Structures are given as C-alpha cells and as structure tokens.
Amino acid sequence: MAISRRLVQRFQWSASLRDSRIVLDRTWLCLSAAALAWSDYESRRRSRQSFCETDPGRSSIIKFRVDNDRPGLLSEATEVLKKQHLNIKDARISTADDSRAEHVYIVQDKLSGAGLSEDRLAQVREALRQLAAGDCRAEPWPRYCSADVAKHTTPEQGIWVSYKDGVYDITKFVANHPGGTDKIMLAAGKAIDPFWRIYQQHTGRGNALELLESMRIGDLSDPPQADDRSSCPFSTDPERHPGLIFHNNKPCNAELPAELMLDAWLTPNPVWFIRHHHPVPIMDHDQYRLVVDGVGTKSVTLSLEDLKSRFLKREVVATLQCGGNRRSELDQIEKTSGIPWGFGAMSTAKWGGVYLREVLQHCAGLSHENVEAFEVKHIIFKGLDSMEASIPVQKALSPYGDVLLAYEMNGESLPKEHGAPVRIIVPGVVGVRNVKWVGKITASQEEAQGPWQRGIAYKGFSPNVKELTGIDIEKIPSMQDLPVQSAIVFPKAGSTVELDDIEVKGFAWSGGGRGIVRVDLSLDDGKTWITADLQDGKDQAYNRAWAWTFWEASVPVPDSLKGKDITILCRAVDSAYSTQPERPEPLWNLRGLNCNCWHRVSIRHQDD
C-alpha cells in the first residue's frame, strides 16, 4: 500500500510530540507497519463483530473529524486531551470517507482506568471543538477473546496474535519479521507471551514493543496468567563477568570492553564477547552424543570421549566476529534492526579439538568422490539450543580451512557459555556459523533452514531497501566470509591528550584467512597518512591468518591542529589488498551488517 507524503509528515508530527515514543519508530519499517495496520482497522472492525465480550473495555477510540485540518493541530489536540486527564495510548491521522482529516486517539481515563463515559466524552468533545470545527465521537476499543484470535491464522483471514492484554493484526508485518516468516507463523492465532519469554530481546531492547503496539486492534478479554518467574528458561544461565558491556541479558548479548581488548592477544574466557539466541542449554557431558549423517555419508554417533580419544587433537587460533559488529555507527545514519554493537562484538581464542574434515571423511565416509556423486554442497550444524546454520562443503573439507570441532578454549575445557561440550569453529567466517552446543552435523544438498541462514538476519541488502515486501529473501546469499576490519581502541573517544605525539593503538582483522599487511592512520581527514607498526598476529600463515593483528603508532600532531579537536582515522589493508571504505553511508543496510568503514575517534589536544 502506498503511503502519501502528507500521511508520512503527519505521522512524523505525532512522533515528535510523544516523549514516550509510543506512536512509531523512526524507521520506515515501523512507519509502514503502523500505517498499514491503521488503514485496515475500519474494514476489520466492520467485518468482524463477533466478539466474545461486548463490554466497553479499558480504552476508548476518540475520532475527531475536522473540517479544515492544519499543521500543529495534532499537537494542540494532544495537549488538550492531556489536560482532560486522559492517558493517550496512541495518536494518528487518517482520511475519513468524506476526505476530511480524522484525528484518532486511543485514550484511557486516568481516574477510572477505563474508557470514556458519555459525560466524559461530552467534556472532551467540547474541549476539542474549541480548536477546530468538526465532529467528535468515541467508541469502545474492541475486545476479543483467545478464541477470536485463534480464528485468524492466514493472510486471507488476517494473522492475529495476542500479547498480555492486547490483540494485534500482524498480517502486513510477517514478511518483514527479522527472524523469518516460518518462526513468526508459529505464533499465528496464539499468544506470543511464551515465545517472548524465550526471545527476550523483544522486550529488552530495540523497537519491538513499539512496533507491536502500532498493530494493535483491540484488547484481550482473557489474558494469560502472569509469568511465573521461577519457570524462566534463563534461570540456569551461567554468571557473567561484570566488566562486559551488556546489551541483553535474556538471551545474553555482551561485548568485550575496549579497556580490556588489548590486554592480551588471546581474549580471557570470562570477558569473551557473548552472542546468544536462546538460553544456555543444560548438558551432561557424559550423556552428550554428536550425530553425523546426511547424503554421501554413513551415519555415526560420537561421544565427547570418542572425539578426544579417536582423533588427533588440533589447535587453531581464531577470532570470531559478529556480523553486526560496529552496527551502532550505521544506526547514526538511520536506525537498523539488531543489537547496537560497538566494536567489541569480537574476541580471539586458541581452540582445541578435532578437525571437522577428519570426522567427515574418515569416520562418516564423506569422500570427495561422494561429494561429487551425491552433489553435496553444504554442511549443516544443529545446536542443542535449536540454532541451525551451515557452511559450504568446500570450506568444511579443505585441508587449509581448519574447521574445528572444539572442546577446549584457551587451554581449558570449553565453558558452557561458549558452547560446551562441543562447538563448531569456522575460522574466517561470520560468527553465527560457529554453532555452539552442536548436536548434529549433516551433509546436504541444501543450506540450513531457519532465520539465521535463510531469513533476513544475516543477509545484506542495498541501502535503498527499507522494507522487504516483494523481495525473495531466500535468493539473497547468506553471509560467510567477512570483509577487512580495523578499529582504534586507544585513545578513547572524547579524551584529552597533551603530548605532541599521540600514541594510537588498535586491532585489524579480515575474513577468509586474509592477513593484515598494513594499517594507516590520519589526523587530517585522509589527506595524509602514517603507517602503524604491526604487533601480535603479524606473523600468521599466509591465507590462514584466522586471528586479529594488534597495531600501534606514534602520530605527530601538526602545528595547525595543536590545541584543537582532532579526529583520528584508521584503515586496514589485507593480503588481497582490499581496504576499508571511507564512509558508512554506502554500507548502510536494513540489518546493520558488515560495517567496516574507516574507524574514527575524536579527541582534544591540549596545547601548553
């Protein structure tokens, strides 16, 4: 459905007036969903009157149809309603049947906590008519029961869900769900409360609640009982180091703080960055079994002891990086969807375990001949937490790919936080493919199912794509190798330096095993550059440089910049002589992935 410029502007007036931001998110995705949901409201209400209850509920819909609309009227009307002691749950502008502007408010009487009585409506009507000529009326906010919601599970019927005491029509949003259509359709016609108790990122961050509220069509007359917190699936998660920068706790998503990043080339286990999609599974190591099967293989089942005793132990030093690392910089251009990581969604460890290729070839019988004969193209990893991802078979079987079934991390048994008893390590590839708590490995002609492989979560879109209607998401390649990356860790942004030579330190890394050949720094917006000295990590094997490289430089402050604000820039060059792009704007994408533009840190030079 096309959204007129006038409607967009009016939505923006409303959003600017609401400190609580209950109207809509700044993203086009939220704006589109809100407009589409409201445009369908009247037709839904007229055609679906078989509510389980007909009492007026706890809210009212005030419709103020004005003869002559004008800029600022929505703001003025909102203030009038506040002075009438009303809680404003939502405020929108639509076009009435006679083409007049219709201001629509979902309100609740502060004193009674309910919808408006006739007396209260009369008071509100008189106050609004002081602002502009027009009609003013109120209707009860529709009330549905769970049985009503259960009838709406298809696009033709409308896809409805409930959450707490609300009912929502999510039909237009399903295709844009970041977790994929299949996953959100599991909740069609049902309460999403149980799903959100697992995927608590919906309530812990971002705009999910605001977006959901924009699609509300009524109240739920029989809401579920309050959640018993003792049954929280995250209650058995391990304790975490307080020094981490937490973006979520349920599930946990936390980044390595800059202050600890350069202390050691191998990141200590307690402060390793954490990226979870689900609760940490509880696993008895003695009962653990890994199933290896699929086309071109003979199915085998291995215990943890089997992996340790039947195969040579291998060690690989590898950096893992989330595909959304540095997403917060893209958010400054326009809000994306995802965790607003700084540059700490990456860490490095020495992993111990067995080569995946040795298990596939020598135990499961997946020879190169079988790969060709059975047209095997992907190796799928399934985690015990329901996470599923895959990599190309060429990477899995390459003698230079170093893909590992890891049971050790930095010389210790793999912590359960990071995938114990066994996880996959795929060096040089985006972090999401390094599946934790792996329970099954499958050779396949198709890549993995699910939102983390075929959904939008880890796929890059053009900067002009703001919503996904009409886009065949499965045809867009999934992320695998990552581009060259670097960042300035010291000095911190906003700090003051006094010396005329600025000590600058940071890291650089590139996907696909491409080593770092150079890191350049500039104080004059790229007009001139100084090359940094490469430190730990510089001597890694060519095209098997799986870990980051630390660097440092002493950068003289030009006379023209002494005593002024200075922006330090850095860029890295990898062994393919690929370098980082200058600006973030051409990199912007809906999911906020692969932000690897020049890193910038602004400081102040204090001149004695």
Residue of 48, 92, 120, 177 marked catalytic: 177
Which among 273, 437, 277, 415 has a CA at the least distance from the CA of 348? 273
* Distances from the Cα of 528 to the Cα of 492, 524, 558, 565, angstroms: 22, 7, 11, 17
- Total H helices, total E strands in the chain: 16, 31
Distance CA 124, CA 84 (A): 7
Q: Would you state the structure tokens that stand for residue 1, as one six-digit string?
A: 């459905």
Distance CA 189, CA 192 (A): 9
Element (H, E) at 6: helix 5-17
Q: Is 458 a catalytic residue?
A: yes
| β-strands 423-425, 166-169 pairing | unpaired
Residue of 58, 152, 202, 544 marked catalytic: 202
| Cross-strand pairs, 606 | none
First to last CA, the chain: 62
Residue of 120, 407, 458, 544 marked catalytic: 458
Tell how far CA 33 is from the center of its chain: 18
Residue of 275, 277, 327, 423 marked catalytic: 275
Decide: 467 and 28 in contact? Cβ < 8 Å. yes
Q: Is 275 a catalytic residue?
A: yes
Burial of 459 (0-12, 13-18, 19+ CB in 10 A): buried
Which among 411, 391, 397, 381 has a CA at the least distance from the CA of 315? 411
Q: Is 85 a catalytic residue?
A: no
Distance CA 305, CA 511 (A): 32
269 φ, ψ (degrees, to nearest 5): -55, -45
Kindly report the length of the chain. 608
Q: Is 216 a catalytic residue?
A: no
Q: What angle do CA 219, 277, 325 make, to 5 degrees?
A: 110
Distance CA 138, CA 102 (A): 13
Residue of 136, 322, 570, 595 marked catalytic: 322
Distance CA 150, CA 222 (A): 13
On the CB side of 118, how many CA atoms lie within 13 Å of its CA? 0
Given CA atoms 203, 206, 212, 213 in this order, what sign does their dihedral have?
positive
Tell how far CA 89 is from the center of its chain: 27
Decide: 138 and 63 in contact? Cβ < 8 Å. yes
What DSSP string describes 363-420? IS---HHHHHHTT--EEEEEETTS-EEEEEHHHHH-TTT--EEEEEETTEEPPGGGTT
Residues involved in catalysis: 177, 202, 275, 322, 458
